[in-house]
Structure 1
Amino acid sequence: MSFRFNFFMDENEAGDAGRSKQTASQGESQAETARKEKFCRKAAKEHDIPEDLDKILANKAVEAVSGLRYVKLSVVEMEGDDEEGIVSQSVSSHSDLIPGVYEGGLKIWECTFDLIDYISEAEIELTDKAVLDLGCGAGLLGITALKGKAGKVHFQDYNSTVIDKITLPNVAANCGNDDRKTSKPPSKRLKKAEPLPDMLTKCRFFSGEWSEVLQLLLSSSKPFPKYDIILSSETTYNPDYYSALHDTLAQLLEKHGRVYLASKAHYFGVGGGIYLFEKFAEERNVFRTSIVKVIDKGLQRCIMEMAFKHSS
């Protein structure tokens, strides 16, 4: 497994509405400001699950790591047909982060595996729980919850391309027939579509900026649970997003629920990190936080647990 850590902050791409307005005051056009705000407030949508698993996995080569299956990014890059254009932009810029445009979901980041390990080490009870994989990317945290017999698992990523090309295929690869071979696309022969596996019927998939997804859930005619457990990895890299992240956690977590957040201590070039977000949360005075694991190999990484201050 190889990882690229090419985080950067481009002032012409990044920022929330406040930063956009500041840039506009320095000579940027109102149209450009509106364009950036639109990127940062990417509209939310729910993604339908195709009935045919082979359709989800068509032309996808599948690899395995830590007992989980995931599609090879190289195959997704060769397809090059995503409407957002984030695959080509990521490849051409040699970057896994273009703030407000592409938020890194095409890669599997090392903190994800830290949190998977912690879930096992701490024996976190997942059975029948409602779980949200926030900023899911490849969806491995949510898949871990599914394998732990969670009752419902919802997946969210900023980019719709990530949900369609990475998350949904990964969930399908892990929920389907265990005899499905890795590193080989499924057969293209025509056959009658089989019913969705039970694990997949527990899932819902969302894309969009956190505040927009929150509003979509709160206004939806479909019932949704407050989540017993929210899992999130590598989502504290940009301080501009802390307000939206904190408010989303506060609105969607069940009264006695827990958030498990895996993050690096610091993200060079972007400025965020686990301790900065912990300070932000303390100032909001909604959650109590605790660093429950520290990994000191290379750049320090941490697991933080969050719960409402009024919960026992």
Structure 2
Amino acid sequence: MAFRFNFFIDENENNEADARDGMDLELRAPKRTQECVEKSKETSSPIVGSSPGLGTDKHEAETPSEKKFCFKAAKEHAVPEDLDKVLENKVMERRWDLYYVNVSAVEMSRLDDADGEGIVSKSVSSHSDLIPGVYEGGLKIWECTFDLIDYFSEAEIQFTDKTVLDLGCGAGLLGIVALKGKAGKVHFQDYNSTVIDEITLPNAVANCIGDRSRTGSGGGGKTQEPPSKRPKKAECSPDALTKCRFFSGEWSEVSRLLSSSNKPFSKYDIILTSETIYNPDYYAALHNTLAQLLDKSGRVYLASKAHYFGVGGGIYLFEKFVEERNVFRTSIVKIIDKGLQRCIMEMAFKDSS
């Protein structure tokens, strides 16, 4: 079954996208944390779990000196037994048939809170959605996410019984669409644990309990649409949450956690990722993670802008990077020429059918 989601981008979202393309992206750095491990720049054929170029700035990458590589430890976030509690004090919005948390309300509620990582207060005080090594943009829904959701319908991508990973998930909308598409398992990963707890997990819960997320019925959430436009029932039930797992941490660390977990782990049939290739410094980390976690006959669907000003990454540079490593074959399956060019890329192992 194919799903059609007709999303629109309002003026505010366009402004956010423009900010990401420009000044804010100059501030955004590779995924890293306070725990650093010294490694040498001379690293050929990096193994999974190592990340040459990760945690360094553009200028450091140009010099053959010793550099610090920083990794944010990975952890799994359990789904609470009380699902209504997850949505407590959350303001829910709805666009067509997807519920999602109003981020502004989360930011307001967390301004004076010690949220573990402190990403909300730091983001607000620095007037930036992107803070190197602290906050990686997961509180926002970037426009390429909508491009990829739209492509699922156009290409009739089938999720039924598939094992799916939403990598760099943020709001988790890509994984939620897969869940609604009857995926067998859906895993969500974001760099920030606060994003998982405050955004991703509530969004997954809201889309599984449906009408209970309305005002006055359980979670205290709200929607922006009149009752006549609200869904009469959710497309997936609370039981669908048993198919989900949620992880925070840097990519290679999450990959290592999955591989060493006592829980059964099977590689992913489909990996979905959007706007994660803005900086070339961590292409190796992403490439290695995809190579380890993708099933031999699986597919990666990646959405990106053609070029990210200020950092220099983009779809064509990443395509060249992948081709040089000769592990995956790539194909640009859709180009969106409205405003700054955006693309959808499909990836698969070269030796797959």
Asked if these proteins are the same fold (TM beyond 0.5), I'd say yes
Label 1:17 to 1:112 Cα distance change in 2 as closer, same or farther (>3 A). closer
Aligned CA distance change for structure 1 residues 13 and 176 (closer, same or farther; 3 Å): closer
User: Quick one: structure 1 residues 11 and 139, their matched pair in 2 at CA, closer, same or farther if it must change by over 3 Å?
Assistant: closer
CA RMSD of superposed structures (Å): 2.5
Opposite residue 72 of structure 2, the aligned amino acid is K
- Residue number in structure 1 paired with 2:130: 97
Partner of 1:199: 240
**1:19 corresponds to:** 56
Whole-angstrom distance in 1 between the partners of 2:73 and 2:124: 24
What's the TM-score, normalizing by structure 2?
A: 0.78
Report 1:92-171 matches (<5 A).
92-171=125-204
Distance 2:238 2:180 in 1: 13
Long gaps (5+) in structure 2: 1-9, 33-52, 222-236
Alpha-carbon contact 1:159-1:208 (below 8 Å) kept: yes
Higher deviation after alignment, 292-301 or 77-86: 77-86
1:235-261 per-position Cα deviation (integer Å, ceiling 9, x unaligned): 010111111100000100011000000
2:306 corresponds to 1:268: no
Q: Which amino acid aligns with 1:132?
A: L
Q: 1:47 aligns with which of 77, 98, 107?
A: 77
| Alpha-carbon shift at residue 17 of structure 1 (Å) | 5.8
Hey, what does 1:8 align to over in structure 2?
Answer: 25
Equivalent position amino acid for 1:9 in 2: E
Structure 1 range deviating more: 95-104 or 10-19: 10-19
Q: How does 1:176-215 map to 2 (within 5 A)?
A: 176-181=209-214, 186-187=219-220, 197-215=238-256
Amino acid aligned to 1:163? I
Amino acid paired to 2:339: G
Structure 1, unaligned runs of 5 or more: 189-195
Output one character per residue of 1:253-301: Cα deviation in whole Å (capped at 9) or x when no partner: 0110000000000111121111111111001100000000000000000
Distance 1:107 1:255 in 2: 32
Verify the 8 A CA contact 2:54 2:281 in the aligned structure 1: no
Q: Return the offset for 1:13.
A: 8.9
Name the residue aligned to 2:285.
244
The Cα of 1:184 is off from its aligned counterpart by 8.9
Once residues 284 and 12 of structure 1 are traced to their aligned partners in structure 2, the CA distance between those partners, rounded to angstroms, is 23
Q: Which of 292, 295, 306 is equivalent to 1:254?
A: 295
Match in the other structure for 1:192: none
Runs of 4+ off more than 4 Å: 10-18, 182-185
Q: Could you say if the C-alpha distance between residues 14 and 167 of structure 1 is closer, same or farther in structure 2, counting changes exceeding 3 Å?
A: closer
Distance in 2, Cα, partners of 1:109 & 1:14 = 18
**More displaced stretch, 59-68 vs 89-98:** 89-98
Q: Corresponding residue for 1:64? A: 94
Distance 1:181 1:8, change over 3 A: same
**2-structure distance, mates of 1:259, 1:155:** 15
User: Which residue does the alignment assign to 1:221?
Assistant: 262
SS state of the match for residue 291, structure 1? strand
**Residues 187 and 246, structure 2, Cα contact 8 Å, conserved in 1:** yes
| Structure 2 residue corresponding to 1:83, chosen from 105, 111, 116 | 116
Identity in percent: 72
Greater CA drift, 102-111 or 92-101:
92-101
The 3 A distance-change label for structure 1 pair 71 and 259 is same
**Partners in 2 of 1:103 and 1:183 — Cα distance?**
34
d(CA) in 2 for partners of 1:280 and 1:91?
35
